[in-house]
Amino acid sequence: MCGFCGFVGSKIEKSETLQKMMDKIIYRGPDSSGMHIDGNVALGFRRLSIIDLADGAQPIYNEDKTKVIVFNGEIYNYKNIKEDLIKAGHVFYTRTDTEVILHGYEEYGEDILNKLRGMFAFCIWDTKTQELFIARDFFGIKPMYYIQNDKELIFGSEIKSILEHPNVKKELNINALQNYLSFQYGVPNETFFKGINCLPPAHYLKFKKGNLEIKRYWEPEFNIDNSKTLEETAKEIDKTFKESVEAHKISDVEVGCFLSSGVDSSYVASQFKGQKSFTVGFDYDKYNEIDYAKELAEKIGQDHYSKKITDDEYWEIIPKIQYYMDQPHADPSCVALYFVSKIASEHVKVVLSGEGADELFGGYRIYHEPFSLKYTKFLPRFVWKGISAVCNLIPVDFKGKNYINRASKSLEERFIGNANLFKQNEKKKILKDTTGMVKTKEITKPFYDKVKDKDDIVKMQYIDIHLWMVGDILLKADRMSMANSLELRVPFLDKEVFKLASTLPLEYKVTKEGQTKLAMRMAAQKNIPEEVASRKKLGFPVPTREWLKQEKYYNIVKTEFTSENANKYFKEKEIVKLLDEHYKCKKDNSRKIWAIYVFLVWYKQFFGEEQKNVNE
């Protein structure tokens, strides 16, 4: 896992600009660096050495040096592909997966993408055709950003490197703020910076003579198979997952794993007997998974390392976290992920983690919602809408109010992913500028349209795979691990695992009784204690709700809410009201408060007078 950046078509001094861009992401690859510069292109690379430690430096060239590649990620089946390429006459100079991609592109063109098994973002420059080819993996595990300025294209693993290019003007994208307040992250494919976009997962781009072409090369499809029993399915999941874990262990350095109290990371950890696992928690009983993790680590014979994060440690690191994230990110667990990555980086260079299991196997509690709302079908929706309108005139929350509001909406209206913080009317209430505001339903509609013939839970999975998982789960996993020069691998997000998960019948995922990931839990139970396999999901929980009721942290947030930066974008009276309601225990506004606070902290890092570079 590394980082790269570059540009093509820029009529500027290349080496100095490229070096500045590379320096911004030095933590992604502290082991070494490399450049390729010719008349029209500049490619820069930072390396974290994992495979072929001696000869794996990038950029890497083909035999006649007409093609050059920079690559971030890991290809787990590269040895098999390499055998075919050698038979086809290709000559290899390294043992790296990087060189396999390059020769594979020579041999198969863009068809090489569907042969790969792994996580990747890479860029290939063809010196003969003067064409740039950039691709991103199937699920968006590895990041990729770009901006087109007329005849030039500037790109990188992180936005901060792109901002170093002299032809990129740093401007806030106000539309991104509006959407962020609902989703709690920058919604792909736009970013918080005008003109800078992220390349979507399972897409590639070609850039030649100022012309940009973007195409999708793979689509996650759900095709239900009812021919297998639950037990047969669980056995197949267990077999497929174990094969994926073994593939993800490929490395020339030691590999460890993250471990919380839940089934996903525990299942991963069960395949790591005799190795190392890592956990963090807080000094609050319901926000501390350390004891659970230690107990399981002992049972499976692991060396376990943990840390309790103090309140002050958490709050002090937030500005640094938002710098690493590139965009405001209101998921509080990203800070916990930073600390667990920091602990792991002191012992290993690579960790495996449980991201993706919930999206693929139906693990989120909200996926049970279609069952819990089934009785609402006895009344027409317009009746529920009327009841909801009356209830919302009551200024205080009461039991059942949220249920009535959800009953009044179709799935497409109420579900935008695992986070849905501010509704449209609430955003209009707190924002000073709502020009051009897009309804969240318009963002999710293209995805709903692709699965309109599927059941509601598949629809929710599909939305989460394309939005929540890319914009929240995988983004924070990449940023927080790479901030600590640590490679994070996700064996659930494997092509073969998805191929099996996509065939599961509804009743093997979510049950009427409220169980989630039923078949996957049965598979996990073959390897871990039953009480762990059935435990509800927590996933490094963070006590933001409690902190915001404490005077010290209330005042920290209020200072930001009443600042000049806040006054540029928010109505002070309204956002302070949210804060006061929570502080006085009138309403749980913690997630909304946190989203606004995180944006303001991030804004200071990238647009404020006190911009800081954490590398200096």
Residue 565: pLDDT over 60: yes
| CATH topology classification for 220-310+326-542 | Rossmann fold (3.40.50)
The whole-model pTM stands at 0.92
Distance CA 183, CA 180 (A): 5
Angstrom distance (rounded) from CA 352 to CA 336: 16
CB of 398 closer than 8 Å to CB of 448: no
Q: Give the pLDDT confidence score for residue 298 in this predicted structure.
A: 86
pLDDT for position 611: 53
- Taking the domains of the chain in order of start, what are their residue ranges? 3-216, 220-310+326-542, 545-616
Does residue 616 carry a pLDDT above 50?
Answer: no
**CA-wise closest residue to 56 among 33, 79, 24:** 33
Q: Do domains 3-216 and 220-310+326-542 have the same CATH topology?
A: no
CA-based end-to-end distance of the chain: 23
- Indicate which residues carry an active-site annotation: 2
Task: Assign 278 to helix, strand or coil.
Answer: strand
Specify the 3-state DSSP secondary structure of 497. helix
Tens digit of pLDDT for each residue in 357-411? 999 999 999 998 888 777 677 677 767 677 777 777 777 677 776 767 776 678 8
Q: pLDDT (tens digit, 9 = 90+) per residue, 387-396?
A: 777 777 777 6
DSSP label of 509: T
CATH code 3.60.20.10 for 3-216: yes
Element of type H or E holding 306:
strand 303-309
Q: What is the pLDDT of residues 65-77, one digit of tens each?
A: 999 999 999 999 9
State the pairing for strand pair 118-126/131-136. antiparallel
CB 277 within 8 A of CB 343: no
Burial class (CB in 10 A: 0-12, 13-18, 19+), 536: exposed
φ, ψ of residue 519 to 5 degrees: the values are -65, -40
50 pLDDT above the threshold of 70? no
- Distance in angstroms (rounded) separating the CA atoms of residues 469 and 593: 22
Instruction: List, edge to edge, every strand of the sheet that includes 487-489.
Output: 303-309, 276-282, 255-258, 350-352, 487-489
336-353 tens-digit pLDDT: 999 999 999 999 999 999
